[in-house]
Amino acid sequence: MSEATSQKPQSRICRSPHQWRDLFSRFEQSGQTRDQFCLEQGVSLSSFSRWRTKLKNEGSTPRNLLQKDPVFVELQSEPIQQAATESWDVELQLGADVVLRLRRPC
């Protein structure tokens, strides 16, 4: 059995975004090509590229869009005086053949 066939394949390493940023920082300081660095670190080129793009795009997102808490705005309206016998229908098409219908019968 040759040495190449007896080696176990590397298991996948699940890295956090913080760990990826640290890896990219080490890459920038290494002076190596992307291929050399990924081979030495055991990182696939596709994962390296995907995470690098993802983190760069996150950095270009305005800060207020990264806010975790939802922002709600209370809307005020004047009460509408309606006759008790008046009916109404509201139809909202949500896409993918989904329709929400609200009806107030008389």
pLDDT, one tens digit per residue, over 63-106 is: 555 556 667 778 777 776 665 566 767 888 888 888 888 877 76
What's the pLDDT band for 32 if we cut at 50, 70, 90? Answer: very high
State the Cα angle at 87 between 85 and 90, rounded to 5°.
165
pLDDT (0 to 100) of residue 101? 84
Q: What was the pLDDT predicted at 37?
A: 94
CA count, 13 A, side-chain hemisphere, 12: 4
Question: What pLDDT is attached to residue 10?
Answer: 60
